[in-house]
Amino acid sequence: MATTPDQRIGAAVRTELLLQHRTMTEVAREVFNAPVWVMQSRCSGRTPFGAWELVQVADYLQVDVVQFLAAAKQPSPGNGAPATTEFHDEGASYDTPVVDVVFNAPTALAAA
């Protein structure tokens, strides 16, 4: 089953939460001052993340928001897992992934 960009962004956020040993409840309370279902609906893709929400989550997790936006462009393997990062050559590493997404924060925030 094909996934939507919103589902892929949600999966990327869930993956980062897992890597940092954080919970959706923590993020919902500390970032949005809201109940956990707010994060659950966004991480599942039922409710899309707003631009400002995604920036807030990225800031809280101390990662670049482009990491989440890049997930929207990558095809999913179809099992709900986030897509793997593709590299331009064998010499690339996880420190320098190839991402062709340009994120303009002022424009995104103005559009939100």
Q: Which two tokens stand for residue 81?
A: 């897992």
- For the chain, which domains are there? 5-111 (1.10.260.40)
pTM across the whole model: 0.66
Whether the per-residue pLDDT at 106 is higher than 90: the answer is no
Q: What is the model's pLDDT at position 3?
A: 81
Structure tokens at 94: 């996880």
| DSSP string over 50-89 | PHHHHHHHHHHHTS-THHHHHHHHSPP-SSSSPPPPP-SS
pLDDT digits (tens, 9 = 90+) for 31-85: 999 999 999 999 998 999 999 999 999 999 999 999 998 888 876 555 555 555 5
